[in-house]
Amino acid sequence: MGILPLGILVFFALMAVLLDLWAGRWWAKTASYAGIGAALVGELLLWGRRGNYMAGLLSQDAVGIVAGVLILLFAFLALLITDGYDLKVNIKEGEIYILMTLSAAGALVMVTTRHLLVAFLGMEILSVANYALAGLKRDTLSKEAAVKYAVLGTVASVFFVLGMAFYYGTGGGFLLDTRVAASPSPMALASGLLLFSSLMFKASLFPFHFWTPDVYQGSPAPITAFFSVVTKTAGFVFLLRLSDFVIHPEVKWFILAASVLSMLYGNLVALKQQDIKRLMAYSSISHAGYMAMGLLLEKQGAWVLLFYLAAYGFMNLGAFAVISSLLEKNSLLNYRGLAKDYSPLAVFLAFFMVSLAGFPPTAGFLAKFFLFAEVGRAGFWPLVVIAAITTLVSVYYYLRVVLVMYMTEGRPTASYLPSGILTMFISAFFVLELGIFPSTLLVFLKYFVG
Amino acid sequence: MISVMVFLPAAGAVFLLFVSGKRTGFIKGFSLGISSGVFLLAVWLFVNFNPYYPLPQFVERARWIGFGLNYHVGTDGISLVLVALTALLSPLALASSFRYIKEREKEFYIMLLLLETGMLGVFVAQNLFLFYIFWEAMLIPMYFIIGIWGGERKLYATVKFVLYTMAGSLLMLVGIFYLWKLSPDHSLYFYRLYSLEIPHQAQILLFLAFALAFAIKVPLFPFHTWLPDAHTEAPTAGSVLLAGILLKMGGYGFLRLAMPLFPEAFRLFLPYLLVLSIVSIIYGAAMAFVQEDAKRLIAYSSVSHLGVVMLGIFALSFRAYMGGIYQMLNHGLSTGALFLLIGMVYERTHTRDMKNLGGLARPLPVLAAFLMVTVLSSVGLPGLNGFVGEFLVFLGTFETNRVAAALAALGIILAAVYLLWMYQRVMQGRAREKFLSLPDMSLREILIMVPLVVLFFWMGLYPGFFMKKFERSARFMMEITQQKYKIISLVNQGGER
């Protein structure tokens, strides 16, 4: 039962490959929708169950299921953004859908296992699909993005393999468990640092963020959205599992430093960006910094982090749905006067920006509220103050996007893509819903996770 | 009832989203209707409020998020009068925009209605979480109001306004986390928090965080620099609500939160706060003297007048405390009226530069008369509202701190000079040719001003009617600030959880 969603997803992804060959891209697209939708239903059916499958290679628990639901939901929304956008920017291959489905399958593997080898497999499925996705636009920037992502991603994979080897060397086998966590040996420390570094690459945390701006800028906009939510969710959920087991006191300092530097670096550099995708890239780094604070918490960390991931995912997907509607005219100059000519798009983007900046009554506010409050409760008050101050910095650049759209004149061009609009509505619904009635999600999180 | 009042404007704003932007007549009428409805509800609250009960009345509570974060609104006497002020000024500000705002009218009225919900929410919130939500949510509509419909330097002004306010409130948020962790039932309910034993060291840091947020909002010198820009660039309705309501939130925050929550720290910082209030009074007045822009002059006069309010609240004498609260209302009405009138002048002459104005009393006799009454109310002429508040503040301050009272009175003398001088430069002297044919106030404009002028006289001649409403609550809040232990038993008697 536990591997049902994964099985469905992989089956449909492979079907989509064949259908793309024989029947055309429409069928590949439909198979992808069907696969992700069916897997989502399957994942929801598992709600509340736990257990180990396939001799412990896969294991299902509350965190994994919530993360799985989020990943599949995000992937579905990312497919919706892609639908219609792809033909407008001349991406005619059906592969874009297939690769996204495969990448989502990799992410799903990552969150449903405690076995390092299986996690590595999942990470590679995700990464290889991502490298190809980044290059699909086929202009110079897109190619550069793909190469950069692939080269740096491979380095991260090497880190993971090395970390895994050290972990094995400490006598723990490949399963994450408590025995190794307790061992104070330098080898355990090395394995912790290496594994964390590798995952921090996926989550675009500070010293491993270098790929983020270029890849975000070069990739097609819906794919950027996909990277920023699906990959990040998978990365953070696995980081969460690692921090349950491999947490060494020194590793904790490492996370803390990465978190602070990500907040500072991401927010400060975002101030000067003129390209909205680069701006979103730095925003993504800074949000990773906030989320990394959640890794410092003990058991409390899980639910605040999952809530943050949910909120961040919806607001980012919504924002990228609007960005995709401008069809790769990504300079902020192209957003001048958007409120006059394309009022609905501007309203949505302004709403998501306000949420990303953390204003009530949106999900962005409550996500920050719970996270900061829990981090404070754990005693990291200086960290909370830094987070609050960097949030202030972020208000400036998020509101600058609003300012450009509403308070300057220009002649923007955009197109209303039906499924993109649908995504905006769905995302806005969830951002408001989580912002005003968060208990709908929190009840489950507290009951199963916390 | 309170919830209906608070969320009615927001519901109206959501409804307006789906109305075509071309039907401006309907949009104006509808939003004015909503706003007036809120006013009627506020009047109902005002009339039915029991002045002999100091704790929040009309309380409404609902489970919301869990973790003690619940929906909890109500109004005690202090909140009541501020709610009434908000509910009065909002429809007036709205009506004053009918001709002033010429583009994107639908969005403007949506933003005004959202702002009204935010402002009312701040005053009726009974727990810190809800208070913070309304406090922050209110910034976004104001950001748009200044940024879209403002004057020449609107972008600079609006960004400065949001960043300044956020800078204070984010540190306050950290303080809220600390209190949340500390409070036994995690409810953040005001009257629960008052009885908390907060360690001395923490009190100091928390007080600084809260005081910074509120001092920026008031604004106290040296945190006032956002205000002249925001006031000057905002459209008339924005200036009216900024001066009339938003600035009051700073004072309200001090007396509701910063002072009673952290009384020891407040005592510790009291001398500095008094100095800042007095510097605000004198500095604001001195700056008002040299302004050429009439709106900027009023903005600086706000800094000065709010200094009086804060002096009254900080003076730790009950008379001054009452006077400070009363003066908040007076300032809201008088300065609101001043901004409305200068807005009307600007609509006609398209300038606020006093060098280019003058002699307007001849073409605009009615407007001149209204401006005269308003100026006199603002400078505190006996018989008008301003006098009562200022008199109480100085009387009370004199009891506890004579030097402060003497220095502050100096600022008031200055106020009389610069405001009357402004009147002279705008209304008297030789009228320019091009201004001679200007139309005087329309019926709509007169109807906007009449309630305010009636209140100037009413509040000046019969202050007891209004003071009675908040006297008990004010005494209660003051006692919490001064001696904490008395209060715990009272709260429990009140049956609040």
Asked if A392 is an interface residue toward chain B (Cβ–Cβ < 8 A), one would say yes
pLDDT(B484) > 90:
no
Asked if B121 is an interface residue toward chain A (Cβ–Cβ < 8 A), one would say no
Q: What is the pLDDT of residue B32?
A: 93
pLDDT, chain B, mean = 88
CB contact under 8 A, A395 and B162: yes
CB contact under 8 A, A407 and B147: yes
CB contact under 8 A, B171 and A388: yes
Q: What is the pLDDT of residue B454?
A: 93
Contact present, A129 and A100 (Cβ < 8 Å): yes
Asked if A446 is an interface residue toward chain B (Cβ–Cβ < 8 A), one would say yes
Q: What is the pLDDT of residue B132?
A: 93
Q: How far is B201 from chain A (nearest CA, A)?
A: 14
Which of A97, A75, A128, A116 lies closest to A15 in space, CA to CA?
A: A97
Share of chain B above pLDDT 90, in %: 46
How many residues would you count in chain B? 497
Q: What is the pLDDT of residue A114?
A: 86
CB contact under 8 A, A372 and B174: yes
* Amino acid at residue number B135: W
Unique residue bearing structure tokens 């009312």 = B120
Closest partner CB to B155 (pick from A396, A403, A438): A403
Q: How far is A377 from chain B (nearest CA, A)?
A: 6
- Domain range for A99 is 4-449
pLDDT(B91) > 50:
yes
Minimum CA–CA partner of A407 in chain B: B148
Residue A59 belongs to what H/E stretch? strand A58-60
* Amino acid at residue number A304: V
Q: What is the pLDDT of residue B322?
A: 92
Unique residue bearing structure tokens 């020449």 = B152
Up-side HSE of residue A337: CA atoms within 13 Å toward CB? 7
Asked if B7 is an interface residue toward chain A (Cβ–Cβ < 8 A), one would say no
Average pLDDT value for residue range B48-57: 88
Asked if A88 is an interface residue toward chain B (Cβ–Cβ < 8 A), one would say no
CB contact under 8 A, B137 and A366: no
pLDDT(B440) > 80:
yes
Q: B346 to each of A133, B142, B236, B296, B339, how far by Cα in Å?
A: 58, 21, 9, 13, 10
Q: What is the pLDDT of residue B435?
A: 81
B134 contacts in A (CB within 8 Å)?
A: 360
CB-based burial label for A162 (10 Å; 0-12, 13-18, 19+): middle
Q: Which of B6, B107, B140 to mutate to test the interface with A (most CBs of A within 10 A)?
A: B140
A302/B334: higher pLDDT: B334
Encode pLDDT of B287-333 as tens digits: 998 888 889 999 999 999 999 999 999 988 888 999 999 999 999 99
DSSP β-ladder status, A58-60 and B69-75: unpaired
Q: Who contacts B33 (Cβ-Cβ below 8 Å, separation ≥6)? A: none
Cα separation, A323 vs A321, whole angstroms:
6
CB contact under 8 A, B65 and A395: no
Q: How many domains does chain A have?
A: 1
pLDDT(B492) > 50:
no
Asked if A403 is an interface residue toward chain B (Cβ–Cβ < 8 A), one would say yes
Kindly give the parts of chain A with pLDDT less than 70: 1, 172, 178-183, 245-248, 448-450
Q: What is the pLDDT of residue B361?
A: 83
Unique residue bearing structure tokens 């208000």 = A395
Share of chain A above pLDDT 70, in %: 96
Closest partner CB to B155 (pick from A384, A407, A439): A407
In chain B, positions 428-467, which contact chain A (CB-CB < 8 Å)? none
Unique residue bearing structure tokens 């949106």 = A362
Contact present, B411 and B304 (Cβ < 8 Å): yes
Q: What is the pLDDT of residue A86?
A: 87
DSSP code of residue A329: -
DSSP β-ladder status, B69-75 and B57-66: antiparallel
